[in-house]
């Protein structure tokens, strides 16, 4: 029984962390059709931002939840203005340029921080489930994921900003004719996606540590979550995270973490073969 | 001079330069340079494999290094089990080709779009990397070959003359072999692309729907292209395993995949000589940057210049933004416009070129 409860928490945690690392990418891909291969590096920068801020005496909560998203969001806006905006509509070139950006950021952080893992210890201690102990931080990550997803839903669904963003993505010319400035909307959307990635990277930093090439560990997982999810940003991310997170955690539980990841990636390839449009191409079509 | 004769001149030039290079280099330069040049030649074969798949086939494969690594590992494992290099060499071509065929079947017959194709090939590369990386324990072995996990497989026996186990190929022989293989690959691909098959795959790249309506099955042609590319990359991997007598999972890694893409994009998609030039240029740059490695200095600029990913990143971004066609096609365009403006180009109307993608 305790084992079941523990496993349930682990599965929820796997789902939450997948959703967290994917949602920034899902927004950038879903709304702008830009495949951002530097996504993993945005997560990595979020981790570094939190760690640097913490080491300068800022409270870890503020560092993770405020500093990291702001820093990475600003980086995102700069990237959009200097690179991405020249490449709209050229999907493959965007992919290549953002891959170049990813290499560049890995090289830059290696030059600045060195090729070592830095970590911050997870706050909040641990609690007991029967014979097992697990950390409270796990629950915190699950809560952050839930809050982030709810906030995005509310923002896109009910605010003027969300309406403008959705309108611009559907028909940029029409939005421009109605007085919206599409380049600004693109820049803000890209920045928002980057900020969410920064937040995710910072929140996961105490769990995984941070090193310059950590993005590689994230990028494949988040991509297949987004692609597996399909066109709808939120319901796609959630449903794909739920599927892949469960598979990953159960395979990890039965074998080893590495084969858990392999199972996740293999499941994704089979899913894309069966549902090329992703889960939301077939189910939850009217989702957001 | 019309395009056809220009083409023949170019082909002849490559042949002459290639053969001269093959014959002269070991007589002129020191052995360490020969060793360095050998790996350039091997990597150039790898570059050609992607030049075919991406440049001509239009299949964006981010995971060409998967086939390269698979070839290298297959050779190593087979070599430890068999001990004579003919069969391992063949296996190192067949296994990656079979893997490419399987993967290609999933992708092309699933009608996955270009962009997802890139992501899937990337994911497969990461799966291979992760799986091989975690096989460090002694329980992971195939026959008598231990997989070694992140430590890699050291001490791989070199190729020998076919059928004669006692006559391994030495370093200089390896150079001859790699260079000859590169030339053979180049001319083989030229021949392939001039054939009916080559015309069709370029047609599919330009307009898949039109090719399909004309009665060609794009899926089958793409699958064939992808498989040939996989076989070539595997062959390069086999040579690479020979060159260093060592393989490790990093040859599956993202950095390796990125390099191959960069070679092709710098040299130019849709040419064969471009990726070779790009590959050798970037390899040379890597070596030159590595040579300046500061010994524990803390100077930020020194660190930045010794930092290959950073430089590669800048090169990749710069080429995508500024020279999207790559060096060789761009130089070709410049040359052509110079020729046109110098001659009587003003009077004679140029025939309009067919629309290019």
Instruction: Dump pLDDT digits (tens) for B259-285.
Output: 898 899 999 888 888 999 999 998 888
At A150, list the tokens.
Answer: 């709810």
Q: How confident is the model at residue B301 (pLDDT cuts 50, 70, 90)?
A: low
pLDDT, tens digit, 9 for 90 and up, residues A66-109: 888 999 999 999 999 988 888 887 888 888 888 889 888 988 88
CB contact under 8 Å between A258 and B307, yes or no, is no
The structural domains of chain A, with segments of one domain joined by +, span: 2-213
What pTM value is reported for the model?
A: 0.83
CB contact under 8 Å between A35 and B130, yes or no, is no
What are the chain A neighbours of B122 within 8 Å (beta carbons)?
220, 223
B interface mutation test: which of A26, A28, A111 has the most B CBs within 10 A? Answer: A111
Residue from the list A86, A111, A258 with its beta carbon closest to the beta carbon of B310: A111
Using DSSP's 3-state secondary structure scheme, residue A49 falls into helix
Q: Shortest Cα distance from B114 to chain A (angstroms)? A: 8
Residue from the list B124, B304, B324 with its beta carbon closest to the beta carbon of A111: B304
At B276, list the tokens.
Answer: 């070779």
CB contact under 8 Å between B313 and A101, yes or no, is yes
Q: Which of B53, B31, B21 is nearest to B193 (CA)?
A: B53
User: Taking the mean position of all CA atoms in its chain, how far away is CA B44?
Assistant: 6
pLDDT, residue B141, reads 73
A interface mutation test: which of B112, B316, B319 has the most A CBs within 10 A? Answer: B316
Q: What is the ipTM of this complex?
A: 0.80
Q: How confident is the model at residue B60 (pLDDT cuts 50, 70, 90)?
A: confident
Q: Which of B314, B35, B233, B274 is nearest to A103 (CA)?
A: B314
Instruction: Encode chain B in three state secondary structure.
Output: CCHHHHHHHHHHHHHHHHHHHHHHHHHHCCHHHHHHHHHHHHHHHHHHHHHHHHHHCCCCCCCHHHHHHHHHHHHHHHHHHHCCCHHHHHHHHHHHHHHHHHHHHHHHHCCCCHHHHHHHHHHHHHHHHHHHHCCCCCCCEECCEECCHHHCECCCCCCECCCCCCCECCHHHHHHHHHHHHHHHHHHHHHHHHCHHHHHHHHHHHCHHHHHHCCCCHHHHHHHHHHHHHHHHHHHHHHHHHHHCCECHHHHCHHHHHHHHHHHHHHCCCCCHHHHHHHHHHHHHHHHHHHCCCCCCCCHHHHHHCCHHHHHHHHHHHHHHHCCCCHHHHHHHHHHHHHHHHCHHHCCCCCCCCCCC
pLDDT, residue B293, reads 52
pLDDT, tens digit, 9 for 90 and up, residues A104-133: 898 888 888 877 777 777 777 777 776 777
Distance between CA atoms of residues B161 and B159, nearest Å: 7
Beta-carbon count within 10 A of B144 CB: 10
Q: Shortest Cα distance from A215 to chain B (angstroms)? A: 11
The structural domains of chain B, with segments of one domain joined by +, span: 30-150+168-251
């Amino acid at each position: 029984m305790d084992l079941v409860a523990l496993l349930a928490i682990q599965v929820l945690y796997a789902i939450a962390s997948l959703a967290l690392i994917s949602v920034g990418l899902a927004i950038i891909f879903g709304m702008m059709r830009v495949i951002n291969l530097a996504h993993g590096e945005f997560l990595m920068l979020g981790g570094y931002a939190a760690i640097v801020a913490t080491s300068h005496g800022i409270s870890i909560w503020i560092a993770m939840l405020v500093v990291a998203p702001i820093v990475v969001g600003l980086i995102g806006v700069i990237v959009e203005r200097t690179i991405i905006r020249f490449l709209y509509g050229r999907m493959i070139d965007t992919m290549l340029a953002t891959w170049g950006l990813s290499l560049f950021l890995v090289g830059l952080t290696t030059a600045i921080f060195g090729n070592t893992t830095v970590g911050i210890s997870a706050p909040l201690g641990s609690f007991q489930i029967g014979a097992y102990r697990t950390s409270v931080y796990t629950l915190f990550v699950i809560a952050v994921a839930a809050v982030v997803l709810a906030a995005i839903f509310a923002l896109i669904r009910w605010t003027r900003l969300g309406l403008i963003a959705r309108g611009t993505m559907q028909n940029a010319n029409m939005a421009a004719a109605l007085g919206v400035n599409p380049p600004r909307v693109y820049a803000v959307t890209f920045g928002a996606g980057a900020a969410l990635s920064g937040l995710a990277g910072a929140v996961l930093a105490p769990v995984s540590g941070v090193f310059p090439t950590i993005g590689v560990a994230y990028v494949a997982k988040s991509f297949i979550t987004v692609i597996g999810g399909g066109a709808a940003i939120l319901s796609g991310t959630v449903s794909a995270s739920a599927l892949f997170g469960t598979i990953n955690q159960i395979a990890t539980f039965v074998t080893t973490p590495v084969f858990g990841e392999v199972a996740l990636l293999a499941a994704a390839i089979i899913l894309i073969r069966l549902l090329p449009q992703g889960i939301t191409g077939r189910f939850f079509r009217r989702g957001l | 001079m019309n395009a056809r004769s220009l083409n023949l001149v170019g082909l002849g030039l490559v042949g002459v330069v290639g053969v001269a290079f093959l014959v002269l280099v070991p007589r002129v330069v020191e052995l360490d340079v020969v060793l360095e040049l050998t790996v350039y030649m091997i990597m150039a074969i790898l570059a050609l494999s992607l030049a075919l798949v991406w440049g001509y086939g239009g299949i964006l494969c981010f995971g060409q290094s998967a086939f390269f690594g698979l070839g290298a590992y297959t050779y190593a494992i087979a070599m430890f089990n068999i001990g004579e290099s003919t069969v391992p060499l063949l296996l190192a071509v067949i296994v990656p080709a079979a893997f490419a065929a399987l993967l290609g079947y999933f992708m092309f017959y699933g009608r996955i779009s270009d962009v997802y194709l890139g992501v899937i090939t990337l994911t497969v590369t990461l799966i291979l990397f992760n799986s091989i990386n975690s096989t460090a324990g002694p329980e992971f072995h195939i026959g008598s070959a231990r997989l070694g996990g992140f430590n890699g497989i050291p001490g791989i026996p070199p190729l020998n003359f076919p059928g004669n186990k006692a006559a391994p190929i030495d370093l200089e022989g390896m150079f001859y072999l790699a260079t000859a293989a590169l030339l053979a690959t180049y001319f083989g691909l030229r021949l392939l692309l001039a054939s009916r098959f080559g015309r069709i795959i370029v047609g599919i790249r330009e307009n898949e729907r039109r090719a399909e309506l004309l009665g060609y099955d794009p899926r089958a042609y793409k699958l064939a292209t992808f498989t040939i590319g996989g076989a070539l990359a595997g062959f390069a991997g086999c040579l690479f395993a020979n060159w260093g007598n060592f393989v490790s999972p990093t040859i599956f890694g993202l950095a390796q995949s990125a390099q191959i893409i960069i070679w092709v994009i710098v040299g130019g998609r849709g040419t064969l000589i471009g990726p070779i030039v790009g590959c050798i240029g970037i390899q040379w740059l890597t070596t030159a940057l590595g040579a300046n490695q500061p010994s524990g200095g803390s100077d930020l600029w020194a660190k930045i210049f010794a930092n290959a990913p950073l430089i590669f990143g800048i090169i990749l971004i710069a080429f995508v933004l500024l020279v999207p066609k790559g060096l060789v096609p761009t130089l070709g365009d410049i040359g052509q416009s110079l020729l046109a403006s110098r001659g009587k180009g003003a009077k004679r109307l140029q025939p309009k070129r067919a629309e290019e993608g």
